[in-house]
Amino acid sequence: MCGRFILVQKLEKLEARFNVTAIPELIFTPSFNISPGKTSLIISSDSPDKIQAAVFGLTPFWAKKPMFLFNARAEGDRNKENDPNFRGAKDIINKPSFRKPIRSQRCLVPADAFIEGTTTEGLSKPFLVFLKNKQRPFAFAGIYDDWKNPITNELIRSFSIITTTANSFMQKLPHHRSPVILEQWQEKKWISSKTALTDITDMLKPCNPDILNAYPISESIKNPKNDNADLIKPIGDTIEKETDFSIKNTLSNQGFGRNNRHF
């Protein structure tokens, strides 16, 4: 699962990193605790040169009420045991909520880091997971849909982050899933309408475990109302202690604040 993530970059940095411009009406509030139901930013296949707001937690266009499907399993109903060695079909293409979005409504979900709990204790034992060498922001592979509220007639755009099998790093936490983190060269292909579906499903793999690191944080992150820099303070050592102490030290002292000169 990936039910919490962080995005606190300046909008100008996001525009430069993804070679996009913000839609004129965009109001962006940085967050240390983006949870289902909150609004964040996406770059969608119908506006690949723009960055816009959307609700975290997809509601299919046909739904009668909000559903907040915040993760979409690459395997669909297959691999229910979450075997990390699963190499079978990417059955997301057949799931009713996702079969249309995976074909034509894909998006990039910018993030600075994400929060993951352990398989058995969940967010009672959370870790902040980040990319080494200050690789932020990065992009999750996402899908989106537009839902019309039948009471207010408001059109709401929402998104899911796609998850796949756990790579060897995520297994160290331990956790049984990995969000799909795209390599930079994959990002434009992911949101291009010209990319074949087979090429899309080929991207639904766990990232290289060597690019990740993590450290434990307070379980205060469980409360979606909590949203401040103290949430990401380390309460223990990084998983990869021997090579990434300097990264942990930077995060501990500087955090992910908008005015962080390290960005």
Catalytic residue numbers read 2, 116
133 neighbors 189 (Cβ within 8 angstroms): no
| Cα–Cα distance for residue pair 36/28, rounded to 1 Å | 17
Pairing between strand 155-165 and 71-73?
Answer: parallel
| Cα–Cα distance for residue pair 119/145, rounded to 1 Å | 29
Which residues are paired to 109 by β-bridges?
140
Q: In the chain, which ranges are continuous DSSP H helix?
A: 11-18, 99-104, 168-172, 187-191, 197-202, 245-254
Place of tokens 């398989």: 119
78 neighbors 88 (Cβ within 8 angstroms): yes
Output helix, strand, coil percentages for the chain, rounded to the nearest 5: 20, 30, 45
Angstrom CA distances, 260 to 25, 135, 237, 253, stand at 26, 14, 22, 10
| Cα–Cα distance for residue pair 132/147, rounded to 1 Å | 37
Q: What tokens appear for 156 in the block?
A: 């709401």
Pairing between strand 106-111 and 138-148?
Answer: antiparallel
Quick check: helix, strand or coil at residue 67? Answer: coil
